[in-house]
Structure 1
Amino acid sequence: MNKKLVIVLMTAGLAQGALAAEVYNKDANKLDFYGKAVARHYISDNTAVDGDATYIRLGFKGQTQISDVLTGFGQWEYNFQANHSEGGNDAQNGNKTRLGFAGLKHATLGSIDYGRNYGIIYDVGAITDTPVIFDDETYISADNFMTGRGGGRLTWRNNDFFGLVDGLNVAAQYQGANSNSTNNPRSATRANGDGYGFSLSYDTPWDVSILGAWATSKRTTAQNALLLGDGDRADIWATGLKYDHDSVYLAATWAQSQNMTPIGSLGYANKTDNLEVVAKYLFQNGFAPEVGYFKSKAKDLQLTGDQDIMHYWDFSLVYYFNKNMSVYADYKLNRIDKDNNLGIASDDQTGLGLTYQF
């Protein structure tokens, strides 16, 4: 397996559309189509996750050259669950729009876009979002303030700091309020008030990257009425370190959040300390073992005091037939106390999968 393919395979899980197929490129307009078919099965004593988990994911990325220095772009991505019966409610069945945004990019000033996109904190969280199946990150989740994917986000990014410093990247993001309404129905734990945040990263010449991000958001009245958590704002800061050279990938992040980390439907932790560490190696024959450690400890919970709300080791092995096809197994060694008072799942899980991606 040549060095170029090794790099593609190591980064395919870290970038949306990394293996996209170009379907149109004419008159300064380009459209790439990407997706994957994932045949997956979970084995666990936890009946909520045991069984079939097959899904299909499709998306496109397009751009148009407006002038010598200005480019327009857009992206859309959708998830189709294949493990449910035909018919029924799309959202309940897991079918959902993951991404949908459009923007403009200037050669020097950077890019600005608006829509459903990743939160600014994911700039750090992405470096440990690498396990092939069990990537249950401690402080990143969809529609959770400015961490994972979410709507109503205005994002500005500038790489190489206006062309002055190679490898120095800055970003700023604003998110408008998303609360339950007729046009935008959502539960309290999927809502947010106005928020903003910033990220900064530096890619050194030695294959090491240093990252940091911070965000703050208003909380809603409905969120403060839940059993757990009470505060005007949800805050988080995160920092990370990554080493990515040829076949070796090492990354670690540390984050601290306040009134932000959800605990099921009970509400939010007043404060959490979050640690994530991953190590991965891709052999020339196509095998890629990975080990990861994820822990989130909640502080001063109203019901139980300090308690782990996520704590597990992850062990996986992937075999890449080529850049489009892979087979894998992943084992989640859960370290959550079986007698916890919050109903957090404590069962181990095994996942088996076969993925075709393009």
Structure 2
Amino acid sequence: MKRNLLAIAIPALLVAGAANASIEVWNKDGNKLSVNGRVYALNYIGDKGNTNDKDGDHTTARIGFTGETQVTDLLSGYGRFEWETNTGKDAKNEARYAFAGLNFGQYGSFDYGRNDGVLKTIGAYTDVLPEFGGDTGSYYVLTARQNAVATYRNTGFFGLVDGLNFALQYADSGESWTGNQNNEKTWDYKEAYGLNTEYAILDTGLTAGAGYATTSKAGPDSKRYNTYTFGLKYDANDLYLAANYFHQKHDENKVKGFEVVAQYGFDFEVGRLTPSLGYVQHKTDGDNGYLAKYVEVGMQYDFNKNLTAIVDYKINLLDSDDAGALVNNGTAYVSHKGNTKDTVALGLIYQF
């Protein structure tokens, strides 16, 4: 979700986002262990006369650890685990991350387990809104967390080009979802392959990224899914601007989407205020193929690195006959007015 609220990760791994809060509990004889956690008290407020199941309490809690062990001067091992529980009305538990790997210094790192899809790196450019956003993970291959992914990452192109990074990924027996308001699983794929590359352009604050993913034959008609993505972000002088574009083709069917975000940070004697403005749109073929379409206006106030308050307003632009407004009533997909309404999110986050 938010770039400054993502859980702790080893920087060399290029896991999406960067952490600013964790506790190192062990550092001895080349072995390190850090713990991280978060309690996110969150409520969605909507029109009570035009509601859906997403309104109400969405409070979650997370706990995780990151470990590292030095084997030789050039080789280290690492592991990461993170668990989340939802205490709201959709209470459930999830192992968000569970992977282990080897780091070969300038020659890159390799890990396997439950981890982010390789295209999430580009989707993360705009996944910085206080609460909403992150829609790419619902509609495209290798854009969300999933099981059984093997990933090779390289920072600085083998130590030859500062700011040039790339990653290669193989997903075994993966699964994905096409986008609808119920997040209903509609097809599986047996294998997927993906890659991304990023280049931080000197000291300009600009970073450009691109990625590609493809699956083995998948779905009821056994066709491949091919996804392309491009992104650009600027992060300097208290200003953050980002945009990305996704295009996925399955035979003659397509899903296309883009997202743009603007944020500016204001520092105070105590804390930092960051207003944000965003636009999200994802669409399938057809006149009424919008899966998501909204404007976001929000802000977050970071009291310090451990405590944050957020308010986020989602101005929903879906029509009642758009694909993203439909729900399955057991026999057919029908329109649900609650999926076209505006929503306000209020939250308080404590993290370490």
> Is residue 231–residue 259 contact of structure 1 (8 Å, CA) maintained in 2?
no
Task: Please give the per-residue CA displacement for 1:47-84, whole angstroms capped at 9, x wherever unaligned.
Answer: 21111111101111110000000010010111111224
Which secondary structure state, in structure 1, belongs to the residue aligned with residue 285 of structure 2? strand
Q: In the alignment, which of 337, 345, 349 is matched to residue 351 of structure 1?
A: 345
**How does 1:187-336 map onto structure 2 within 5 Å?**
188-189=185-186, 191-205=188-202, 206-220=204-218, 223-224=219-220, 230-259=221-250, 270-285=253-268, 286-300=272-286, 305=287, 307-336=289-318
**Cα distance in 1 between the residues matched to 2:172 and 2:123:** 22
Please report how far the alpha carbon of residue 258 of structure 1 lies from its aligned counterpart in structure 2 after TM superposition.
1.9
Q: For this pair of structures, how many residues does the alignment match?
A: 316
Q: In the alignment, which of 77, 80, 95 is matched to residue 85 of structure 2?
A: 80
Q: Which residue of 2 aligns with 1:124?
A: 122
2:69 is aligned with 1:64: yes
Q: Give, as a single letter, the amino acid of the residue that structure 1 aligns with 2:349.
A: T
Judging changes above 3 Å, is the alpha-carbon distance between structure 1 residues 256 and 341 closer, same or farther for their aligned structure 2 residues?
Answer: closer
> Is residue 145–residue 192 contact of structure 1 (8 Å, CA) maintained in 2?
no
> Is residue 4–residue 18 contact of structure 2 (8 Å, CA) maintained in 1?
no
Judging changes above 3 Å, is the alpha-carbon distance between structure 1 residues 107 and 341 closer, same or farther for their aligned structure 2 residues?
Answer: closer
Q: Give, as a single letter, the amino acid of the residue that structure 1 aligns with 2:46.
A: S
Q: Root-mean-square deviation (CA), in Å? A: 2.3
The normalised TM-score by structure 1 is 0.83
Please report how far the alpha carbon of residue 10 of structure 1 lies from its aligned counterpart in structure 2 after TM superposition.
6.7
Return 5+ residue gaps in structure 2 as ranges: 7-15, 177-183, 327-338
**How does 1:101-140 map onto structure 2 within 5 Å?**
101-137=99-135, 139-140=136-137
**Cα distance in 1 between the residues matched to 2:80 and 2:18:** 10
Structure 1 segments of 4+ aligned residues over 6 angstroms from their partners: none
Judging changes above 3 Å, is the alpha-carbon distance between structure 1 residues 247 and 116 closer, same or farther for their aligned structure 2 residues?
Answer: same
**How does 1:151-170 map onto structure 2 within 5 Å?**
151-170=147-166
Judging changes above 3 Å, is the alpha-carbon distance between structure 1 residues 312 and 29 closer, same or farther for their aligned structure 2 residues?
Answer: same
Q: Which residue of 1 aligns with 2:181?
A: none
Return 5+ residue gaps in structure 1 as ranges: 1-8, 85-91, 181-186, 225-229, 261-268
Please report how far the alpha carbon of residue 279 of structure 1 lies from its aligned counterpart in structure 2 after TM superposition.
0.7
Q: Give, as a single letter, the amino acid of the residue that structure 1 aligns with 2:55.
A: D
**Cα distance in 1 between the residues matched to 2:214 and 2:160:** 29
**Cα distance in 2 between the residues matched to 1:77 and 1:191:** 25
Q: In the alignment, which of 154, 166, 177 is matched to residue 173 of structure 2?
A: 177
Judging changes above 3 Å, is the alpha-carbon distance between structure 1 residues 234 and 341 closer, same or farther for their aligned structure 2 residues?
Answer: closer
The normalised TM-score by structure 2 is 0.84
Please report how far the alpha carbon of residue 255 of structure 1 lies from its aligned counterpart in structure 2 after TM superposition.
1.0
> Is residue 294–residue 312 contact of structure 1 (8 Å, CA) maintained in 2?
yes
Task: Please give the per-residue CA displacement for 1:180-208, whole angstroms capped at 9, x wherever unaligned.
Answer: 9xxxxxx8537322111111110011110
Judging changes above 3 Å, is the alpha-carbon distance between structure 1 residues 311 and 327 closer, same or farther for their aligned structure 2 residues?
Answer: same
Task: Please give the per-residue CA displacement for 1:158-183, whole angstroms capped at 9, x wherever unaligned.
Answer: 01000111111111000112479xxx
